[in-house]
């Protein structure tokens, strides 16, 4: 009986899909412009995926054959051009930057979405400023970090200088994505929580934030991607010493900076391609783990309701 029911459900789904396709074809015949726009969207999607596939294939073909055990030696030398210190520095830089930017960005977004009055001029100014900061070139952030953190605060070229500069750089992304995620939560959740006697803060922390976690994590993913791939800002703030720092105020070379220096010198082109492979794996792995975490948290929060 179960097999028969499943077969009937499958037949129903297939029938609905066939009917939907027929309706689409009929709609396209009535409106040639819609069909033309659909073709353009399809071509754009194919072009995007093809470009991404070509880039990944090129990096893998050039880099995978050059991955050798010496590239993962603990210490960098002129003979091995090891990327292990850069890998550790990249992880440290990412964690430290997120620890600075995420609390500030999420807190600012909570204020803008939940506490600020509608029509507040300050809110409009903050949003415009955040959108403007998003479009500023990273070299400008690097120069600002060099002038303020490196020279004024006398932190020198260090892990802390680079992390603070990157935190300022990704702060608008974190803030805007978190705000949009909070605004997308239905007002019925807030009304129901208030109706049960919960206060504003409790409603935000226990009802609104858990529902917005997938969107907040999306902002975190974007921030991580920019931190890992950043080069210009870190050259002026974190330096280029390929060693694991003993403290937050020691110079640290990340993977992107490491790859830049290898390719610039012209003597380690093959090692630069191998570094690009590791950098690509880093980004893909972080995106996969973040999506997995977002799905689990989304299901968990849904189950609690």
The pLDDT assigned to 304 comes to: 45
- What are the structure tokens assigned to 156, written together? 């020198």
The pLDDT score that the predictor gives to residue 298 is 65
* Domains, the chain: 2-64 (no CATH), 71-304 (1.10.3720.10)
Closest CA to 101 of 277, 262, 270, 219: 219
Average pLDDT, the chain: 83
Region 180-200 average pLDDT: 85
* HSE value, Cβ hemisphere, 13 Å, CA-based, for 115: 12
Q: Whole-prediction pTM value? A: 0.79
- Return the residue matching tokens 């994505």: 177
Q: What is the pLDDT of residues 205-225, one digit of tens each?
A: 888 888 888 888 888 888 888
Neighbours of 59 (CB within 10 A): 16
Q: Is the pLDDT of residue 94 over 70?
A: yes
Residue-level pLDDT at 215: 82
Q: Which residues contact 279 (CB under 8 A, 6 or more apart)?
A: 228, 229, 255, 256, 259
Q: What is the structure's pLDDT at 149?
A: 93
């Amino acid at each position: 009986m179960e097999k028969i029911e499943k077969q009937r459900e499958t037949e129903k789904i297939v029938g609905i899909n066939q009917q939907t396709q027929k309706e689409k074809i009929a709609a396209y015949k009535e409106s040639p412009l819609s069909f033309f726009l659909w073709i353009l969207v399809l071509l754009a999607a194919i072009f995007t995926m093809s470009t991404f596939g070509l880039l990944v294939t090129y990096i893998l073909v050039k880099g995978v054959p050059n991955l050798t055990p010496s590239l993962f030696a603990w210490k960098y030398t002129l003979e091995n051009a090891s990327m292990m210190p850069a890998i550790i520095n990249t992880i440290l830089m990412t964690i430290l930057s997120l620890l600075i930017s995420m609390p500030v960005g999420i807190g600012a977004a909570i204020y803008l979405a939940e506490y600020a009055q509608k029509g507040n001029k300050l809110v409009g100014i903050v949003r415009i400023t955040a959108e403007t900061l998003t479009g500023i070139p990273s070299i400008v952030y690097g120069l600002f970090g060099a002038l303020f953190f490196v020279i004024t605060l006398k932190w020198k070229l260090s892990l802390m200088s680079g992390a603070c500069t990157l935190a300022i750089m990704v702060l608008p992304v974190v803030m805007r994505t978190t705000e949009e995620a909070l605004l997308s939560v239905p007002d019925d959740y807030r009304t129901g929580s208030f109706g049960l006697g919960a206060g504003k803060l409790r409603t935000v922390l226990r009802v609104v934030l858990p529902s917005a976690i997938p969107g907040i994590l999306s902002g975190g993913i974007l921030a991580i991607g920019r931190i890992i791939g950043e080069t210009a800002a870190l050259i002026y703030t974190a330096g280029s010493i390929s060693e694991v720092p003993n403290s937050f105020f020691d110079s640290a070379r990340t993977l992107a900076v490491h790859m830049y220096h290898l390719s610039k010198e012209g003597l380690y082109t093959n090692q630069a391609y191998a570094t690009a492979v590791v950098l690509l794996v880093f980004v893909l792995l972080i995106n996969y783990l973040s999506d997995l975490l977002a799905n689990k948290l989304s299901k968990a929060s849904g189950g609690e309701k």
